[in-house]
Chains A and B, each alone.
Chain A
Amino acid sequence: EPEVTQTPSHQVTQMGQEVILRCVPISNHLYFYWYRQILGQKVEFLVSFYNNEISEKSEIFDDQFSVERPDGSNFTLKIRSTKLEDSAMYFCASTRSNEKLFFGSGTQLSVL
């Protein structure tokens, strides 16, 4: 069964550093998403991406964040100048027809 894959599974970084979280969505999917979940809290929408551009973003997704689809398979989330409060699980998700969101297993980001 096709699945969304995310790398790395864990990322530890120093405050102020840049991190890139990587995702390979399911191959025939058209809509891509990043969500984050701070420990013990709800799943929060960050950004959606369709047709090679951002279609919607939340208040969380400020200038510190950017997304890119550099080729036909990868979908990346870049976080510049990380802060302690960026520590969270980051989930990538994709869907073919804007129904039934499929998630990757997440990247646990720890900012020290």
Chain B
Amino acid sequence: RKEVEQDPGPFNVPEGATVAFNCTYSNSASQSFFWYRQDCRKEPKLLMSVYSSGNEDGRFTAQLNRASQYISLLIRDSKLSDSATYLCVVNHGQNFVFGPGTRLSVLP
């Protein structure tokens, strides 16, 4: 089983839509969790950390279920500028493990 798995995508959604991404991780000792976004041929950039109680940042909501080893990201009111690849990242010890990413295209 791969360490971090994500919805394969791509997701093609119209502007204004709500879209949800799922992620699962295999290492139960994982300590911290993040969503990054990556634009084509650019470096990953931190979108948000994911906390056990769930957290929200504007149109973005992240949730963590440690028992199920599952992380989610919800994007409301999608913008054209949200088009990117979304990377689920899990940290255990001193190793940040990246999922394969889910590509999102927001269409006008």
**0 or 1 for each of B75-101: is its CB under 8 Å from A? (1 = yes):** 000000000000101010111111111
Bound form: Cα–Cα A41–B2 in Å: 14
Interface residues on A, range: 20 to 34
- Whether A99 touches B32, Cβ cut-off 8 Å, given contacts A43-B87, A104-B43, is yes
Say yes or no: B98 contacts A98, CB within 8 Å: no
Enumerate A38-63 residues with CB–CB distance to B below 8 Å. 41-45, 48, 50, 55-56
One of B34, B87, B98, B99 near A100 (C-beta < 8 A): B34
A7 to chain B, nearest CB (A): 14
Are the C-beta atoms of B96 and A42 separated by less than 8 Å?
A: no
Whether B96 contacts A33 by the Cβ 8 Å rule is yes
Asked if A75 is an interface residue, CB under 8 A from chain B, the answer is no
Kindly list chain A residues whose C-beta atoms are within 8 Å of the C-beta of B46: 100-102
> Counting CB contacts under 8 A, is B16 at the interface?
no
Q: How far is the CA of A41 from the CA of B91 in the complex (A)?
A: 20
Contact with A42, one of B32, B91, B93, B100 (Cβ below 8 angstroms): B100
Enumerate chain B residues within 8 angstroms of A45, measured Cβ to Cβ.
95-98
What size tier do the contact residues of chain B reach? 20 to 34
Q: Is B30 an interface residue (CB 8 A)?
A: no
Chain B nearest Cβ from A107, distance in angstroms: 11
Q: Which residues of A contact B45 (CB under 8 A)?
A: 103
- Point out the residues of chain B lying under 8 angstroms from A99, CB to CB: 32, 49, 91
Taken together as a complex, chains A and B put the C-alpha atoms of A93 and B17 apart, in Å, by 33
Interface assignment of A105: CB less than 8 Å from any CB of chain B: yes
Is B94 within 8 A of A48, CB to CB? yes
Please tell me if the beta carbons of B44 and A43 are within 8 angstroms of each other in the complex. Answer: yes
Query: Taking each of B41, B43, B45, which has the highest tally of chain A beta carbons within 10 Å of its own beta carbon?
Result: B43
5 closest Cβ pairs, A-B complex: A103-B43, A43-B98, A42-B100, A48-B94, A55-B94
New contact pairs (10) apart from A33-B96, A106-B43, CB-CB < 8 Å: A42-B99, A42-B101, A43-B44, A43-B87, A45-B95, A48-B94, A55-B94, A101-B44, A103-B43, A104-B43
